[in-house]
Amino acid sequence: MNNLERISEALQKGEAEKITELVRLALTEQRSPEEILDNGLIEGMNIIGVKFKEHEIFLPEVLMAARAMYAGLDVLNPLLAQTGVKKIGKVVLGTVKGDLHDIGKNLVKMMLEGTGFEVFDLGVDVSADKFIAAVREHQPDIVAMSALLTTTMVFMSEVINSLQSADLRKKVKVIIGGAPVTQHYADQIGADCYSPDAATAAEDAKRLIKYS
Amino acid sequence: MVRVTFLPNNENIEIANGDSLWETILKAGIRPNSICGGKGICGRCKVLLKEGITEPTVQETELLSPEEIKKGIRLACQTRLYNNCTVEILPENRTGLQDIFPLNRVDNAKDFKSSFWLDANVEKIFLTVDKPSLLDQRSDWGRIKEALVRKKEKNLNYLQTPLPLLKKLPVLLREADFIVTVVICNGKITALEKGDTADKVFGMAFDLGTTTVAGYLIDLKTGKEVSALSKTNSQISYGDNIISRIDFTQNKENGLAILQKEIINTINELINETIQNTGISRDNIYEITIAANTCIHHLFLGIIPIYLASSPFLAAFNRGLSLKAKEIPALYLSPETNIYMLPTISAFIGSDVLAGILFNGMNDREEITLLIDLGTNGEVILSKNGELWACSTAAGPAFEGIGISCGMRAVEGAIDRVKLSKNTINRHVIGNGNPKGICGSGIIDLVSDMLRIGLIDKSGRLMTKKECPSGISEQIKNRLDIKSGENIFLLVKENETEEGKEIYLSQKDIREIQVAKAAIASGIKILLREAALETKDIGELFLAGSFGNFINIENAIKIDLLPNISLKRISLVGNAAGKGAELALCSRRIREIGEGIYKDVKYVELSTHPNFSKEFMETISF
């Protein structure tokens, strides 16, 4: 097993300290930061995503893995900035107005970051105005919205309408998700994509910006 | 027009072209299963079309298997009818609405801890009124009042008499030959009855839950519980959770009126059944008290509930409310019957919780007490020297057997107890017949035992056959299997079940249980911290909920659903909300206490609590 595989494995086990060590070790082996990111950290996060989707692992293990991923990123980020490696895309993310659920949304954030996106997390109970302001400010490729209640998912359509009237709709792709959301609902309100879980959301995001 | 024939009874109903089958079914008085309330999300309202089979919709192709679609199975809520058709609603897809269950009855005098509990708001006084003559020309009302003063030896000038009663008075008094019984309620004379009926004073207490409604008939002279019945809330066909129902009032024309009618119908059916069983006259029920979660409370009163469900989560009002039966449409009680709605605490903490606090006397206990109501909302209440904290944990319905592959409510056919060891497996089925599914208490037993023998690890992962720890017999090991790509534990083989379908627990089910128990456990931890207390400080823990009676407490502690305290300090209190409503019916003093404390209960909002995510993640493993 090479050190990149070890990084992926340590990430899956949530061993943050070991990751820091292994990433440093890999750098001394003259591996590029991009290679370590892609074949170590992102590789591990992808496996975590699949296992979570299949119920094999659960929230705590995903969070541990995410913590380990961030530990690795802490070492790599300064180097990646130096070499001028760009994030693969930008996402504005939030739970819609009236809804305070954030665990699912945070998972999506981790998976997106693990996949190489820059994520602007607006938090929970985010109004359409706040989404619009964030889109203007950050000029993201994707707007991702979460809702856990049937009573609050209606605000997703409000955000899409606001994007339309602010003439921003064509500039972004919209992903929606959350327990009551369906493909049918996404079609109905004119979202570009419905993602049933966090791992799929990251895959969908890549697909939407045509990054492969 | 389109003609719809329902099997097996061959009932016909005619509807307009293009009407929805879902609404037609509801009109026919049949209650299909539903979680989402007819939005094409849950896939529960399956029907078998025998004639006039429709093209499957997008939702149907997503939610039904190709075989089902081929057989003619459709979702009622997705089907619009343009041709005559014949429909069979499969038995497993009906909710058991005809089922009125008797509840265990208790001796209130023994059960109610307060010494002042019998102090009813209704009083009946038998009077022999002086007959009038030319020498005694006092008015009809004047002579009744004098007879009352004579009997009660106190000034009754405050007594008001409503006009409807005064209208009846002259004729009634003479028909009764001046021998009458006066009914006093809320400090007013509310009825006058012929003859001596003073021993017939009854009231009913109701607990209106999202899933179940319980109704208790109480003899207000003695405080004795005469009858106790429960019934499924008929609103369930519009969604099995509060959010779906709130949604229905928002998105459906007349949605609010429909849901109000359904809850009133449910209450009416309980009243009718109670009257039939006991032979007591409807006119002798003078007052009812109602405890309910805040959403059902609003729906019963016809108040729009939508602001309960989105931030910042507000009720229309919280205080206690007295009204007359005639103010509620089509409530089948005498128009003047008094209705007392107990105060609610917040949008998520209803009067059912307040009733539970009152029943357990948590407001004036010196020791630290904790009340856990294991329902869909899983409320937790903590008391310390009369100070009260409450939170609602959104535990979900997993412990009610809902959302679990083979889960069901704790009714006949449910596996309610399981004992699993390395070599053997034993189970108990409610009603002792063949099992149909597993209910909350059975799930708790099973998960606890699987953890103990190592079939589930601490993280909640279900072992595969390969990973099965050594020392487990082949018989048990072979129950670890794969179904539709997912690891499962087979509990009952298909040939031993009532419906010929195997009963199992899947990896996903275990995840659902983990979420539910972590929600409750983290709620408990956060409340304890708010009060600067620790688990060991809990003096007494009351476990309430209609399924709380069957639960194996030791196993509930083992899976970390309940805090690890001595079993002696945990008591099962059954339907504490219903008992609290009874108490409020029997005692004006208790109502005063409730009115006094509802504002002081500190509601802790978990969803924005800084420690919630951390506690939740810490309690989600076993």
In sequence order, which residues have a C-beta less than 8 Å from that of residue B462 and are 6 or more positions away?
B450, B455, B456, B480, B487, B488, B489, B505, B506, B507, B510
How far apart (Å, rounded) are the C-alpha atoms in residues B466 and B450? 16
Q: What is the pLDDT of residue B547?
A: 59
Question: From chain A, which residues contact B within 8 Å (Cβ)?
Answer: 54-61, 63, 97-103, 106, 124-125, 149-152, 180, 182-184
The C-alpha angle with vertex A189 and arms to A142 and A192, in degrees rounded to 5, equals 35
| A43 and A4 Cβ atoms separated by less than 8 Å | yes
**Percent of the residues in chain B that have a pLDDT greater than 90, as a whole number:** 55
Of B36, B41, B620, the CB nearest to A58: B620
Using one digit for the tens of pLDDT, what is the confidence trace for B328-368? 999 999 999 999 999 999 999 999 999 999 999 898 888 99
Using one digit for the tens of pLDDT, what is the confidence trace for B483-541? 988 899 999 999 999 888 899 999 999 998 998 999 999 999 999 999 999 999 999 99
B526 and B600 together in one domain: yes
Count of CB pairs separated by less than 8 Å, A with B: 72
What are the start-end ranges of the E strands in B477-545? 480-483, 486-492, 503-506, 540-544
B136 and B221 together in one domain: no
A58 and A98 together in one domain: no
The CA–CA distances, whole Å, from B432 to A64, B399, B414, B417 equal 45, 21, 9, 12
Q: What is the pLDDT of residue B380?
A: 96
B369 and B329 together in one domain: no
* Interchain CB distance below 8 Å, A151 and B460: no
Mutate to test the interface with A, among B298, B510, B617, B618 (most CBs of A within 10 A): B617
A102 and A197 together in one domain: yes
How far apart (Å, rounded) are the C-alpha atoms in residues A184 and A187? 5
B429 and B321 together in one domain: no
Q: Which residues of B touch A98 (CB under 8 A)?
A: 309-311
Backbone angles phi, psi at B408, to 5 degrees: -155, 170
How far apart (Å, rounded) are the C-alpha atoms in residues B52 and B45? 18
Using one digit for the tens of pLDDT, what is the confidence trace for A112-161? 988 889 999 999 999 999 999 999 999 999 999 999 887 888 899 999 99
How far apart (Å, rounded) are the C-alpha atoms in residues B160 and A198? 66
* Interchain CB distance below 8 Å, B459 and A180: no
For residue A96, the domain's CATH number is 3.40.50.280
Q: What is the pLDDT of residue A204?
A: 94
Q: Which residues of B touch A184 (CB under 8 A)?
A: 40, 58-59, 62
Q: Is the pLDDT of residue A202 over 80?
A: yes
Q: Which residues of A touch B616 (CB under 8 A)?
A: 103
Mutate to test the interface with B, among A59, A63, A154, A185 (most CBs of B within 10 A): A59
Quickly state the pLDDT bin for B4 (edges 50, 70, 90). confident
**Which residue in chain B is spatially nearest to A152 when comparing CA positions?**
B310
* Interchain CB distance below 8 Å, B613 and A103: yes
Q: Is the pLDDT of residue B19 over 90?
A: no
Q: If you average pLDDT over residues B180-202, what whole number do you get?
A: 91
Quickly state the pLDDT bin for B153 (edges 50, 70, 90). low
Q: If you average pLDDT over residues A74-103, what whole number do you get?
A: 86
Let me know if residue B114 belongs to a domain. Answer: no
* Interchain CB distance below 8 Å, B461 and A56: yes
Least confident of A165-169, A181-185, B600-604: A181-185
Mutate to test the interface with B, among A64, A151, A152, A181 (most CBs of B within 10 A): A151
| B252 and B258 Cβ atoms separated by less than 8 Å | yes
A74 and A117 together in one domain: no
In sequence order, which residues have a C-beta less than 8 Å from that of residue B371 and are 6 or more positions away?
B353, B356, B357, B360, B362, B379, B380, B381, B382, B383, B541, B542, B544, B573, B576
Q: Which residues of A touch B58 (CB under 8 A)?
A: 183-184
Q: Is the pLDDT of residue B104 over 60?
A: no
B406 and B500 together in one domain: yes
For residue B140, the domain's CATH number is 3.10.20.880
Local structure of residue B620 (DSSP, 8 states): S
Longest Cα separation, chain B:
103
Q: Which domain holds residue B246?
A: 203-341
**Which residue in chain A is spatially nearest to B605 when comparing CA positions?**
A100
B331 and B374 together in one domain: no
| B485 and B440 Cβ atoms separated by less than 8 Å | no
3-class SS string, B223-253? CEEEEEEEEECHHHHHCCCHHHHHHHHHHCC
A39 and A104 together in one domain: no
Q: Which residues of A touch B517 (CB under 8 A)?
A: none
Per-chain mean pLDDT for chain B:
88
Q: Which domain holds residue A76?
A: 3-82
B442 and B469 together in one domain: yes
Q: Is the pLDDT of residue B88 over 70?
A: yes
DSSP track, B117-186: --B-SEEEEEEEPPPPBTTB---HHHHHHHHHHHHH-S--TT-B--HHHHHHHHHHHHHTTTEEEEEEET
A126 and A30 together in one domain: no
Please tell me the distance in Å from B442's CA to the nearest CA on chain A.
22
Least confident of A59-68, B111-120, B569-578: B111-120
Q: What is the pLDDT of residue B102?
A: 62
* Interchain CB distance below 8 Å, B514 and A184: no
Question: From chain B, which residues contact A within 8 Å (Cβ)?
Answer: 36, 39-41, 58-59, 62, 243-244, 246-247, 250, 306, 309-311, 459-461, 485-486, 507-508, 511, 514, 607-608, 613, 616-617, 620-621
B327 and B221 together in one domain: yes
3-class SS string, A12-72? HHCCHHHHHHHHHHHHHCCCCHHHHHHHHHHHHHHHHHHHHHCCCCCHHHHHHHHHHHHHH
Q: What is the pLDDT of residue B219?
A: 93
β-bridge partners, B217: B204, B227
Q: Which residue has the tokens 């070790």?
A: A25
Can you tell me whether residue B214 is helix, strand or coil?
strand
A191 and A135 together in one domain: yes
Q: Which residues of A touch B608 (CB under 8 A)?
A: 100, 124
Count other Cβ atoms within 10 Å, centred on residue A161.
Answer: 14
Q: Which residues of A touch B459 (CB under 8 A)?
A: 57-58, 60-61
- Domain end residue (candidates: A28, A60, A82): A82
- Domain end residue (candidates: A67, A82, A97): A82
In sequence order, which residues have a C-beta less than 8 Å from that of residue A63 and are 6 or more positions away?
A14, B617
**Which residue in chain B is spatially nearest to A103 when comparing CA positions?**
B613
Of A54, A101, A151, the CB nearest to B250: A151
Q: Which residues of B touch A63 (CB under 8 A)?
A: 617
Quickly state the pLDDT bin for B2 (edges 50, 70, 90). confident
Highest mean pLDDT among A26-35, B31-40, B151-160: A26-35
Let me know if residue B353 belongs to a domain. Answer: no
Q: What is the pLDDT of residue B47?
A: 87
Let me know if residue B253 belongs to a domain. Answer: yes
A78 and A93 together in one domain: no
Q: Is the pLDDT of residue A212 over 60?
A: no
Quickly state the pLDDT bin for B101 (edges 50, 70, 90). low
Q: What is the pLDDT of residue A56?
A: 85
Quickly state the pLDDT bin for B111 (edges 50, 70, 90). low
- Domain end residue (candidates: A82, A104, A134): A82
**Which residue in chain A is spatially nearest to B621 when comparing CA positions?**
A60
B524 and B506 together in one domain: no
B258 and B333 together in one domain: yes
Helix locations, chain A, DSSP H: 3-13, 16-28, 33-36, 43-53, 59-82, 103-115, 128-138, 154-165, 183-189, 198-208
Let me know if residue B350 belongs to a domain. Answer: no
| A202 and A66 Cβ atoms separated by less than 8 Å | no
> What token pair was written down for B13?
């109903």
Please tell me the distance in Å from B36's CA to the nearest CA on chain A.
9
Q: If you average pLDDT over residues B272-291, what whole number do you get?
A: 96
Q: Which residues of A touch B59 (CB under 8 A)?
A: 182, 184
* Interchain CB distance below 8 Å, B514 and A183: no
Nearest to B328 by CA among B392, B404, B263, B397: B263
Let me know if residue B451 belongs to a domain. Answer: yes
| B283 and B334 Cβ atoms separated by less than 8 Å | yes
Q: If you average pLDDT over residues A10-32, what whole number do you get?
A: 92
B596 and B580 together in one domain: yes
A101 and A133 together in one domain: yes
> What token pair was written down for B257?
């009126």
For residue B18, the domain's CATH number is 3.10.20.30
Q: If you average pLDDT over residues B3-20, what whole number do you get?
A: 83
Q: What is the pLDDT of residue B9?
A: 74
Local structure of residue B55 (DSSP, 8 states): P
> What token pair was written down for A35?
């290679």
Cα B57 versus chain centre, distance: 34
- Domain end residue (candidates: B167, B194, B221): B194
B334 and B369 together in one domain: no
Local structure of residue B53 (DSSP, 8 states): P
A142 and A67 together in one domain: no
The CA–CA distances, whole Å, from B3 to B12, B57, B84, B560 equal 7, 21, 5, 54
Quickly state the pLDDT bin for B97 (edges 50, 70, 90). very low
**Which residue in chain B is spatially nearest to A59 when comparing CA positions?**
B617
Quickly state the pLDDT bin for B106 (edges 50, 70, 90). low
* Interchain CB distance below 8 Å, A180 and B41: yes
Local structure of residue B470 (DSSP, 8 states): T
Count other Cβ atoms within 10 Å, centred on residue A180.
Answer: 19
**Number of structural domains chain A divides into:** 2
* Interchain CB distance below 8 Å, B621 and A183: no
β-bridge partners, A143: A92, A174
Mutate to test the interface with B, among A101, A125, A148, A150 (most CBs of B within 10 A): A150
**Percent of the residues in chain B that have a pLDDT greater than 70, as a whole number:** 94
Least confident of B139-153, B424-438, B538-552: B538-552
A201 and A141 together in one domain: yes
| A207 and A175 Cβ atoms separated by less than 8 Å | no
Q: What is the pLDDT of residue A152?
A: 87
Let me know if residue B604 belongs to a domain. Answer: yes
Complex ipTM, two decimals?
0.71
Using one digit for the tens of pLDDT, what is the confidence trace for B214-270? 999 999 998 889 999 988 899 988 887 888 899 899 888 899 999 999 999 999 999
Q: Is the pLDDT of residue B201 over 90?
A: yes
| B311 and A100 Cβ atoms separated by less than 8 Å | yes
A73 and A104 together in one domain: no
Q: Which residues of B touch A57 (CB under 8 A)?
A: 459, 461
Using one digit for the tens of pLDDT, what is the confidence trace for B545-597? 765 457 899 999 999 999 999 999 998 888 889 999 999 999 999 999 999 99
A139 and A67 together in one domain: no
**Number of structural domains chain B divides into:** 5
Backbone angles phi, psi at B119, to 5 degrees: -160, 65
Q: What is the pLDDT of residue B105?
A: 52
Quickly state the pLDDT bin for B306 (edges 50, 70, 90). very high
Q: If you average pLDDT over residues B22-48, what whole number do you get?
A: 77
For residue A17, the domain's CATH number is 1.10.1240.10
* Interchain CB distance below 8 Å, A125 and B459: no
Of B62, B243, B613, the CB nearest to A151: B243
Let me know if residue B347 belongs to a domain. Answer: no
